[in-house]
Structure 1
């Protein structure tokens, strides 16, 4: 790879970034969806500054429940038991799902600008490959991991203290108005879900919402996006997640945090402060080959210019994480 072959993060579109630091080849793999085609792509780097790509690693196969013309969302790749597993969210907007209901009436989900949203088929799937470069093949064609009547997204892998794998995901506000973070057990080879989902917390529990006086103008809906988990050195279980901070008619995407201080996935979950604001979020953590803990997220949510940014962070057993350096030298 020569400088002429590479780009920096400021040069190319990235949404919902996920970086796999692959020690055997000392290469960072940055996974994202594509603005030009319904595929998952990857960029590669040896130094987090110079990136080569994109390379397509996943295409929605014929025979899948999902619409192959609708772009995957939030791809991430985890190494598990010697293989590489892609978690990504697929869609079928022609298939309607149940809306929020109190048993007798249905409730319409509307954004702050008044646009109505109807629940449609959406959910995270799992695909597998022998290499970070894929090609990834779906484990199952017949439906997503979470219950198919749920409208869900942004599934991520979590392995608990007993070595049991789970998928943690967001249940869409479009279907339930007050979005939630939920989890479902996976079997030992990640091929199927086991049992029923468990509830972790609601979007309306975000600490940032405590700043608002409760009223009929409270900012429904409550969005939950992009859960990511990390075991802290002191034993607590930290979750990054994204939501919106609203002021009047404006909305700002933010990266916030929650912690299960006892270390259990079931919680109880305590909501923490915003980690990064400024219309930035959907972050994840990785450790560099030099041992530095890094946060990658995207900025520019809802705009034509969505780019990945990098920050050095440190653990703080009380506050969860603290940003110690904006690494614009790597991404700008």
Structure 2
């Protein structure tokens, strides 16, 4: 299989040096995996061009007493202390959460908050099976509607989960972090605020004349942390630029891949927002290095019926720059 033929959303690549194999994780799609159910599947390749048919590594239905059975979004796999940890977002539409007041925005929101958050599951293999470490609840506080949790280990060795706090609950979506227990089975302390989506100064550029300037909501999606060579810290994230919420409650605007920089190198920032890296309804990207040492970014495009797109990128100081799209691998488009 090749990327143009592979349904995938929120792609995450693990380049496994031991086997010289790239593992590309995404939500389970029964049409290609042949396995029904909410979960995670993985494609494999040794050259980023030709991929195996995916195998399923996690199924929500196979977990004992799991708190949710919907979603299966944004799976990531991280090596930690000799084992592999899967983060993926689940939700339960039958468990409502409080809806925030929105009258001061003067905007006709249609909010439907329910229990949503990233779970943690563990395996001894990149190919699973992964087992939830706490079936009773998501890893971030369950009173919060969150998604897209990712692992970050700070210079002291403290693991954190960084996640997006949903605009559906906050109106102005935020990025937050919470400390994890050393074995990743629980959390320590309260969430830490990092930044909000509206901090990006370019987010409302180009709204047509006659439309009120940058109506809410503001969306945060897909964080990934990456240390820069100048000791600063980068966060890839996605949002919608030129957001306009219509009177019918529909959201219009372009999905984009962007990034922010903590010039202090600390997770708490302060975070400086940079210009988008890729537009054209693209996003939820992550960085990885090829076995030859080239820094790459993978993301999905378009948002609906998504396919993986690969870009060679360059990181100089704290500036991330796209060099070229690898159309020879991803088919362009």
Compute the TM-score of the two structures, normalised by the length of structure 2.
0.90
Partner of 1:81: 81
Deviations 1:96-123 (A, max 9, x none): 01122xxxxx33899x9x6723110000
Partner of 1:107: 102
Instruction: Note if contact 1:109-1:221 (Cα within 8 Å) is conserved in structure 2.
Output: no
> After alignment, is 243-252 or 24-33 more displaced?
243-252
How far is 1:210 from its partner? 6.1
Partner of 1:25: 19
Output the CA distance in 1 between the equivalents of 2:173 and 2:141: 16
Instruction: Note if contact 2:147-2:163 (Cα within 8 Å) is conserved in structure 1.
Output: yes
Partner of 1:255: 257
Output the CA distance in 1 between the equivalents of 2:206 and 2:218: 14
How far is 1:12 from its partner? 1.6
Output the CA distance in 2 between the equivalents of 1:176 and 1:286: 31
Deviations 1:121-165 (A, max 9, x none): 000010000010000000011101111000000000000010110
Partner of 1:200: 194
Q: Aligned match of 1:240 in 225, 236, 239?
A: 236
Output the CA distance in 2 between the equivalents of 1:139 and 1:76: 15
Q: Would the alpha carbon gap of residues 30 and 12 (structure 1) be closer, same or farther in structure 2, given more than 3 Å must change?
A: same
Partner of 1:224: 220
Output the CA distance in 1 between the equivalents of 2:212 and 2:282: 28
How far is 1:317 from its partner? 2.2
Output the CA distance in 1 between the equivalents of 2:213 and 2:323: 36
Q: Aligned match of 1:8 in 2, 12, 30?
A: 2
How far is 1:35 from its partner? 3.7
Instruction: Note if contact 1:283-1:296 (Cα within 8 Å) is conserved in structure 2.
Output: yes
Q: Aligned match of 2:111 in 98, 102, 117?
A: 117
Aligned residue runs from structure 1 range 37-52, under 5 A: 37-52=37-52
RMSD, aligned CA: 1.9
Output the CA distance in 1 between the equivalents of 2:215 and 2:298: 27
Partner of 1:90: 90
Instruction: Note if contact 1:63-1:141 (Cα within 8 Å) is conserved in structure 2.
Output: yes
Partner of 2:327: 328
User: SS of the residue aligned with 2:202?
Assistant: helix
Partner of 1:130: 124
Instruction: Note if contact 2:214-2:243 (Cα within 8 Å) is conserved in structure 1.
Output: no
Instruction: Note if contact 1:109-1:173 (Cα within 8 Å) is conserved in structure 2.
Output: no
Q: Would the alpha carbon gap of residues 325 and 146 (structure 1) be closer, same or farther in structure 2, given more than 3 Å must change?
A: same
Partner of 1:264: 266
How far is 1:34 from its partner? 2.4
Q: Would the alpha carbon gap of residues 203 and 42 (structure 1) be closer, same or farther in structure 2, given more than 3 Å must change?
A: same
User: SS of the residue aligned with 2:157?
Assistant: coil
User: SS of the residue aligned with 2:85?
Assistant: strand
Output the CA distance in 2 between the equivalents of 1:15 and 1:109: 35
Output the CA distance in 1 between the equivalents of 2:29 and 2:129: 19
Q: Would the alpha carbon gap of residues 133 and 99 (structure 1) be closer, same or farther in structure 2, given more than 3 Å must change?
A: same
Output the CA distance in 1 between the equivalents of 2:311 and 2:53: 22
Unpaired stretches in structure 1, ≥5 consecutive residues: 1-6, 101-105
Number of equivalences: 313
Partner of 2:162: 168
Aligned residue runs from structure 1 range 137-176, under 5 A: 137-176=131-170
Partner of 1:3: none
User: SS of the residue aligned with 2:198?
Assistant: helix
